[in-house]
Amino acid sequence: MTLSYLEFHAAFLCPPILALGWLAYRRAESSQARRRWSRRVGTGLAIIVALAVVYTTPWTNLLIPQGVWWYGEGVVRGTLWHTPLEEYLFFVLQPILTALVLVQFGPPGSERSVELGLKLELPGRHRIAGCCAGLTVIGLGWELLSSGSTETYYLGALVLWAGPILTLQWAFGAPYLWAIRRFVGVAIALPTLYLWFADRLALEWGLWIISETHTTGYALAGLPLEEALFFLATNAFVVQGIVLYAWVVERADELPSVDDLRRIGRRSSRPVQRVETNRETEPEPNPDADSADAR
């Protein structure tokens, strides 16, 4: 069976997006809380889609010319840079699909963060721990990429690419993500499993081909390890990003106001002003007086 990349979108992404979108609309009408949750997911999704296109575009345009993967004959309609136009469309459709899965489970419970005392101003040690976990991912990716082995090239490039996003998300809100880990885990797992299935079929049908030279050879039910990790990582980006955005909106009253920021700015500039004032009032050295003292 041979499909074009656009037909793949029409067959595997558009139907669940339309179905989940209809369900999300119906659920949003059932209560004020769900309506508010849907709006937050929608706004967060718009931000995530923009970031996904900007962040993923250089990465795919680096790996495709290296021969990490390529596309079957006649599968794509055209390319922009080295990436098919349909791939850019996927950068948009995947976050939409994942966000629509996320919205079905309703808000994770605003009471949960209040109950656990999870304010936006987390202890520094929690942020450091989340940051260190993300930096570990970056270090692992760098090690795999710089090992000199072509077999770990795709895996290393993927892990290194994922590391900075995970570092930011975990440093900002790891305790909150952990507190609602079941909610987050299910929201990540369901679209990931579905996209694993769709990608496995696409590989079997020859829509795209993954290089054996640039991969480890490990597979999950016929799906290369690198492909499986890609969908897991990108869905984690989407779910964690939207959940953290909703958390910030929920506790927006804890954010510093413009007046607070101005006061902080004035406070931080005072020591500098004092130093400059002291320098201005310090008497200039008098060479004549020094000479007289020497005599």
11, 60, 70, 82, 208 from 74: Cα distances, Å: 17, 20, 12, 16, 11
CB 242 within 8 A of CB 48: yes
Query: How many C-alpha atoms does 207 have within 13 Å on its Cβ side?
Result: 22
Q: What is the pTM of this model?
A: 0.85
What is the average pLDDT value for the chain, to the nearest integer?
88
Does residue 195 carry a pLDDT above 90?
yes
Please enumerate in sequence order all residues whose Cβ is within 8 A of that of 240, keeping only pairs 6 or more positions apart, or say none: 169, 173, 177, 184
Does residue 142 carry a pLDDT above 80?
yes
Supply 118's token pair.
């999870």
The band of 19, judged by pLDDT with boundaries at 50, 70 and 90, is: very high
Across residues 94-105, what is the average pLDDT? 96
80 against 29, higher pLDDT = 80
Does residue 178 carry a pLDDT above 80?
yes
274 against 207, higher pLDDT = 207
pLDDT at site 293: 52
Reported as a single tens digit per residue, the pLDDT across 25-39 is: 998 888 888 889 999
CB 18 within 8 A of CB 128: no
Does residue 245 carry a pLDDT above 80?
yes
Of 67-76, 116-125, 279-288, the least confident = 279-288
CB 88 within 8 A of CB 59: no
Domain ranges for the chain, please list them: 5-260
% of the chain exceeding 70 in pLDDT: 83
Of 112-116, 193-197, 203-207, 221-225, the least confident = 112-116
Give dist(CA 23, CA 40) in Å, integer.
16
Does residue 295 carry a pLDDT above 50?
no
Does residue 276 carry a pLDDT above 90?
no
